Each structure stands twice: as C-alpha cells, then as structure tokens.
Amino acid sequence: MPVPREQTQAIMDRRVQAAMTVDPAAEFTIADKFEEIVARHGARPFLIAGEESLSYAEVNRRANGVAHAALALGLAKGDTCAVSLDNRPEFFVAWFGLVKAGILPAFLNTNVSGRPLAHALAITGAKACIVGDEALARFEAVESRAAGVPLWRWPDAMYPATPELAALCALDFSAHAAQAGAQDLPRAARAGIRCRDTAVYVFTSGTTGLPKAALNSHWRWLSSGEQMRVTVNATEQDVFYCVLPLYHSAAGMSLTANALSAGAAIVMRRRFSASAFWGEVRRHRVTVCQYIGEICRYLLNQPPRPDDRAHTLRAMTGAGLSADVWERFQARFGVAQIFEGWGSTEANTNLMNLDNRIGSCGRIPYFERSNLRLARYDIESGTHPRDAAGLMIPCRPGEVGEVLGLISSPAPGMYGAVFEGYTSAEDTEKKILRNVFVAGDAWWSSGDLMRYDEDGYFFFVDRIGDTFRWKSENVSTQEVADAIGDFPGIETINVYGVHVPGQEGRAGMAALVLQPGCTLDAAAFHAHCRARLPFYAIPLFLRLSAQADITATFKLRKVDLQREGYDPARVREPLLVLDDAAGGYVPYSKEALERLGVAPFAGD
C-alpha cells in the first residue's frame, strides 16, 4: 500500500517551511551562515581527509587568510575567482575565504582542459584562478593559457607539480594566505550582498558541448541545506561522506549545505573507491552519504563480506538509482533510508522520494502545491504536441512527458520557483518555454522524460535525445539498462541508439564493461534480454569495452559511442551482433549483419 498522500505532504511542508527560514531579500550570505556555525560549533570537527582533521574554527581561520590575501592581491567584492582543486580541505578553505570577501568562486571541473577550460574562464569573467598542483597540467594547453587569467598556485603534497608546470603560475597563493590575517573580515566587507544574489558559479555536468555556468544564489544554497537537514534529520553528531567531486552541485551544493546547516562533519575522499568505501564508513562512523549514477552498482559488484551490514550508515541521498540496484543494495547492506531525488544544477523545481518507494525519484501528492508538471513529448518529431488552442498537453498518469518547472517572480515564499539561469542570457532563454499551458506563462525546460502513477510517484525514463525509436516503438535507454544491467558479471552497461542505413529510427546497442576476471556468456545474456525486454528493445549490437566512458559524476557518455556505432574500423573493441538463429550474440561479421538484415554502419 502506498504511503498516504497527507503523510508525504506533511514532510514536504516541513521542507518548505525550513527553506522559508532563509530570506532571499536579507543581507545574508554563505559566509555569514558559516561564521554563525563556527560561533556555535567551533571546536567540533568539520573536515576529515585521510589523517587530517580540521575543526570549524581552524577552517574559518584558514579561510580568513584566503579572504585577506585575495583582497590584498587586487580582487574586490563582486569579482570572480575560479577555483580548480581536488576534494581536499583547501577547496573549502578557498571557497569560504572568497565568499567572506564578497568574491564569487567559479568551480572548475578539474578534468577539463583546452578550449572548454578557456571557455569556462571566459564566461565567468574570472580575474584569477586558484589552481592546485593536481590540476595544473590542465592549464598547459595553448587555449587555456590564451585565456589570460593569472594562475595562483596552491601546492599539493600528493601530486606535486613539476617545475615546468609550477612556472605557469604567477604566485604561490597558499603562502600569501598563510601570511595574511586570521581574523574575520568586518561584516561591511560584504555590505549590499543579498541572499538572492549569485554566490557561486557551478558548471552543468552535461555530456556534450561546452560547459554552461549556472548561477547559484546564496539563498538556493542555504535553503537547500535547511531542507535537507530536516529531511534526513541531520544533527551535529552526523558524519557525511563526500566521494563525489566538490565542483559539482551534488557534493558542493547539496551535501555541503546539508552538513553545514547541521554543524556536522564531512569525511572527504579525492576519488570514489568501491573497495575502500565501507572501510572508511566504519572507520569514521559515517552516517550520511551522497551518491549519484553507478556508485551503488559498483558497491554491489564488490565481493560479499560477513560484515556487509556492520556499519553506521543510516541514510543515502542522491539520484540515478535503478529499482533493481536499489532493492539489492538495501537487502545486502541494510541502509535504512534512501532519499532518491531528481533535479539539476540550475533547476527551479525538484523531486524527492521521502517514502523509500523503490524506483521512484519523488512524489507530488497534490499537484496544486507544486510547480512541476509533465508535458507530452513526441520522440519522433522532437516536439511537444499542442492542442487546438496552441497549448501543450499535460500528461496523465502513465504517460511519458518532459519535466517542466513553472517560473515564478521572486515574490515572498515563491523564490524557489525562480529560474536563476546562466551567465549567458542566450543559454538562459533557450531553457525557457513560453505559452505552455496558459497564454503568457513561462516554464523551465529540463530535457528529462518521466512518467508518474496514480499515487503521484514519479519515475525517470530518459534524457531527451537518449530515447530512440525502433520498429515504430519508443525505446528508453535507461529502462533497457535497468532491465538487463543485473546480468552476472556486468560492471557497467551503457545503452544507446545507433543509425542503421536504409532503416527508420535507431537500433539498440549496448557497451558492456565486465567485472575483472569475467567473460560474457553471449547465449545466457541473450536469454536474459529476451526474458526482460520486448523484442524491439533488445540491443542488436554489443560492444565489449575495457572501461566505461563516464563523467566525473558517474554519468555515462554516449555521443562518441553513437558516432563510432558498430563499425569495426572505428571500434577497436570486440563487437557482437544479435543472431536469433544461433541463440544469442555472435562476433561481428558481414555474414552476421546479413542474417540480421542490416547494412554496414555508415555513420549519421
């Protein structure tokens, strides 16, 4: 039986009330909130990284050095300073130090270089960039140096820079910060900055094109922390585990805001490690962890241990957890609550599963109390059907449509529905749909397809562009991956559609990464697909990859895979072709293609 709507709504109301304790019009910033927490919990641990543990007071002292040094080196309130650092305490020290001085950090993806990096620096108007040794090589490219932004080095004992890379930097910023004042700046240093003003630039984690810098206000960050605090019942006794990159919103915004709101500690790790995960959870008595993408699948793929349930982890928050993995994860590890949600860096609406309903990314008990709607979307034409009046058509239960968020004016109590947009006005306008359900309205376009059931539970279907048509049927890459991804021995599965010459639509293809020591039983995998999928959704082609093509936040890239298709001249990995007569998949050959009835790959 579903949880009563009133029960879910009561929790949602508490989240809204918590968010409304943050006044968007007030002269109050992330720095003010941090200093409030320091005053109450200064002696408590805040950041734990390896053997290093820093209290709130110590992080505050070091952040003050950053604030004084940045101002002394010529930055001023309202300027932008890019930050390119791994998950280490210095990330927070630089971040909070800059906001203390009224300077806007722009969090750079430490994996980006060349033109995308130069573009990121340009669109944020960065006056300087604090860069760690671990990321300096990214700035070596001609395009990066051409941006003309001075690099302020922050050495890294784990990945020390070569003299040649160190020479790219104008100065050692860590030395300046260490020698600057350790006292809080006067509150006047941030005078005039309101909670609704931009606090930080966070780049979208898309898998194609140049990055877009989303505007994130102090209000959005602080209210998110208050909402999540009441959601997971976080207190100063909690310990959060940060395994995702801090430059992304999941860790830098959601997890950090939640921990800071409660005065809790954060255990930091530079990179996620499935083999080290539970050991660190036990060692540090972690209670809350943020996940995204394939993390839970990777943990399930680790060999079972007698102490799988011997841990302190009580709650996980995140997105992208399939129903099958969710069920097996809870059964094996016994984590009491999983708060699966949906949203994005720039979203003006979101969903959160507050009922532990397996497979759902959230619920709307009463639509009149939400600004989120689904609009019908035609996969074949790539458009939203409209009625006789020229308006879009809302989805009924069970229908698949695009998630939209009604954009409101920044009125009291409605600020959460404001679309803050990007640094680029053009990019901002591209995400707005007008005259949607009522003449003159405006909605944020998510690019995500979902459906919901009669009880108001929502289920993610796919990204627009990932879902494809084959044999006159719509095929969701996400639903195919969820249906067959639990086949024994599979580490990662990435499903996508590829062009077949002379045929309409796209045929299904799956790139499989196998667990170490495993081989694919092609006949058994074919039987698995036939048992789980309709005939038109069964992948026609398999690619056995050595590793997955994923972003730093565990999102699977598809564009290059689609471009290479099933052409053996482009794919330097084993290719298999569906062969029903042989009872499974067989190695690629022209004869196999002929039996399948498809032509050789010709690209798009």
> Token digits for 466?
């990932």
| Length, in residues, of the chain | 604
Tell me the domain boundaries of the chain: 29-41+54-193, 367-462, 465-596
Topology of the domain covering 29-41+54-193: Rossmann fold (3.40.50)
Kindly state the helix (H) or strand (E) to which residue 530 belongs, with its residue range.
helix 522-532
Please, are residues 179 and 62 in contact by the beta-carbon 8 Å criterion?
Answer: no
Domain 367-462 has CATH 2.40.128.720: no
Q: For tokens 């194609």, name the residue.
A: 208
> Token digits for 379?
């996969």
Domain 367-462 identical in fold to domain 465-596: no
Sheet holding 171-172, edge to edge: 171-172, 151-154, 126-132, 80-84, 104-107, 198-203, 213-217
Q: For tokens 């080095």, name the residue.
A: 153
Q: Where are the alpha helices (DSSP H) in 125-172?
A: 142-146, 163-166
pLDDT digits 0-9 by tens, 56-81: 999 999 999 999 999 999 999 999 99
Cα–Cα distance, 507 to 495 (Å, whole number): 10
What interhelical angle do 30-41 and 56-72 show, nearest 10?
A: 140
Count the neighbouring beta carbons within 10 Å of the beta carbon of residue 352: 22
Q: Give the amino acid at 427.
A: D
Note the pTM of the prediction, 2 decimals. Answer: 0.87
Q: For tokens 């689609």, name the residue.
A: 562
Report CA 474 to chain centroid distance, whole Å: 26
Q: Give the amino acid at 220.
A: R
pLDDT class of 526 with cuts at 50, 70, 90: very high
Please, are residues 410 and 421 in contact by the beta-carbon 8 Å criterion?
Answer: no
Please tell me the predicted confidence (pLDDT) of residue 349: 95
pLDDT class of 205 with cuts at 50, 70, 90: low
Task: Tell me: pLDDT of 142 over 80.
Answer: no
With 0-12 / 13-18 / 19 or more C-beta atoms within 10 angstroms meaning exposed / middle / buried, residue 163 is exposed
With 0-12 / 13-18 / 19 or more C-beta atoms within 10 angstroms meaning exposed / middle / buried, residue 309 is exposed
3.30.300.30, 3.90.1150.10, 3.60.110.10, 3.30.70.890: CATH of 465-596: 3.30.300.30
pLDDT digits 0-9 by tens, 143-176: 767 678 999 999 999 999 999 999 999 999 999 9
pLDDT class of 207 with cuts at 50, 70, 90: very low
Kindly state the helix (H) or strand (E) to which residue 506 belongs, with its residue range.
strand 506-514
